[in-house]
Every structure is written in C-alpha cells, then in structure tokens.
Amino acid sequence: MTARELSVPGAWEITPKLHGDARGLFFEWFTEAGFTEMTGHRFDVRQANCSVSAAGVLRGVHFAEVPPSQAKYVTCVRGAVLDVVVDIRVGSPTFGQWDSVLLDDQTRRSVYLSEGLGHAFLALQDDSTVMYLCSAPYAPEREHTILATDFGIDWPIEGEPVLSERDAAAPTLEQVRTAGLLPTWDQARAFVDELRARARHQPEPVAAGAPVRPPVVRRTEWQPGSR
C-alpha cells in the first residue's frame, strides 16, 4: 500500500494494492508495519465502528477533546462517500482548512486522521457503508460537533444534505472556539510526539510476509490433588 499526506498535517490517504482474479478480490486495508512507517507510531485499536448511510446523508463535523481525542482509520466497503478532514487545532498553520478523499468500493482507499482533527463524510450512494478503527472508545462527554456547512466545503450534492438533529443544530467553528472546546496545535503535537516516543521503546512490528516464530508450548504433568 502507498500513503500520501493530505494538505491538513496529520492526515493521510492510503491506497492498497488490489489482488483480483476470477474468484474476486483481496487486499490489505491496514497493516501495523505500514501504519508505523507512515506516522512514526503505532495505532492501538480501541473500538471499530460501522456506519450505513443513504445517499445525501452528511455526518459531521465531529471531534473529540485532546487528550486522548480519537484518531480514526476510515474506509468505505460499499458504495461511495466523500470523506473530509478539517483542521480545528487552534494555532495550526492550516487552522480552519480542509481536505477530502473519495472513498469507495472500487479503489478501496482509506483515510487516517490523527488526534485533534475534525471528521465528516457525505454518502454519495445508497447503503454506503463506512468502517473505521478508533484509537479510543466513544466518550459522549468529550465528543463535540461543528456545523458542517461552516467551512466552505464543496459538498457534491444537489439540494440540502440529510443531517441528524444534533449535526443540524451544531455551533459554528467560531462559537466552539469561543467556548474553549477546540484542541490546540500544541496539544495535538505533544500527544502525537508522546506516541512516537513510546513507539521507539517498543519492539518493531512484524512486517507482512516475515516468518513468525511459533509459540513455545510447555506441558505440565497433572498430579493428583492439584488444581
């Protein structure tokens, strides 16, 4: 797989190598070794989510407080979505800017967004199914939403998108900033730097195709009266 960093620092587009034949298709959409090479740290999965959306459904912009926030590794296994990453880190050189990637069941691309970034996606087809790995479990008291139409994003849709009541009533970026809820550039960088420092003291992840030593099995003889 290949990785390309987006115009928002801390976000990447990942393109897998597809292996297809008469039976169908196989590909790796996540590898620990590839992820570590891309980001400089590991991705400890704490939760995996699945979202199914009708065409025109817009979810986001969502974010979580730092620390620990919630990094996401996102892919679309059915249909197509426009996946958007928004820089909401106060003090960032790209604060308020966004980038997007088309995720679909043809290219099989993924997007990774690190801690402190905002996330949204628009479903382009019915039953668009998005799977994402999360670095932290859902914590409603630390989760927030920003009005998705506040960033000048060119959503490819005719008419109005379908939003949840919560997303439709979300405050603007400036309102969330005034409330003191946005992460800062320094907070996000410090958190990621800590992850990288921790990774330097951990064993290297096993690369794809590398031989794996079988576990040592020790046999213990059972003795009468033992438990």
Give me the active site residues, please.
Answer: 62, 132
Token duo for residue 65: 């407080």
For 125, which DSSP code?
A: S
Biggest CA-to-CA distance, the chain = 77
3-class SS at 186? helix
Token duo for residue 7: 């115009």
**Which of these, 58, 61, 63, lies nearest to 115 by C-alpha position?**
63
What is the end-to-end Cα distance of the chain in Å, rounded?
50
* Residue 48 burial class via C-beta count within 10 angstroms: exposed 0-12, middle 13-18, buried 19 and up: exposed
Q: Rounded to whole angstroms, how far apart are CA atoms 63 and 148?
A: 12
Strand ranges (E), 110-169:
110-113, 117-123, 128-134, 143-145
Written as one letter, the residue type at 209 is G
**Which of these, 86, 118, 102, lies nearest to 7 by C-alpha position?**
86
Q: Which residue has tokens 């928004």?
A: 86
For 79, which DSSP code?
A: S
